[in-house]
């Protein structure tokens, strides 16, 4: 489904994500975990777009905004980020460590 690529996707920590979400309302924040994982607890402000259907839904994402992607550990979000880069998205950021590293509130 997803090709491994050598695209350099910028990564941020969960601490950086927390700070960015306080001040940057223009970026699009995506959680690519499956629906049940997302419903068990997610970062407020994240939109759920499961990786399993990402190739069908990614086109809803605007190409002119920063896309910040997270998952449980950072692996699925990196796959999604690299896929977006392959589709021509320029400003894509992966959250390293994902929910496992998140120490903020969950919804």
Residue of 29, 100, 33 lying closest to 71 (CA atoms)? 33
Active-site position among 9, 51, 69, 71: 71
CA 49 – CA 89 distance, rounded (Å): 16
* Per-position DSSP letters for 26-77, written without gaps between them: SSEEEE-S-HHHHHH---TTPEE--GGGHHHHGGGS-TTS-EEEE-SSSHHH
Whether residue 71 lies in the annotated active site: yes
Q: Annotated catalytic sites, by residue?
A: 71
């Amino acid at each position: 489904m997803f090709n491994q690529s050598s695209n350099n996707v910028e990564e941020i920590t969960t601490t950086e994500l927390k700070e960015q979400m306080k001040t940057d309302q223009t970026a699009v924040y995506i959680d690519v975990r499956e629906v049940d994982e997302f419903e068990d607890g997610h970062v407020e402000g994240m939109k759920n777009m499961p990786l399993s259907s990402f190739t069908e839904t990614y086109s809803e994402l605007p190409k002119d905004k920063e896309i910040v992607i997270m998952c449980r550990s950072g692996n699925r979000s990196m796959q999604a980020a690299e896929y977006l880069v392959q589709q021509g998205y320029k400003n894509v950021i992966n959250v390293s460590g994902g929910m496992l590293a998140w120490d903020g509130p969950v919804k």
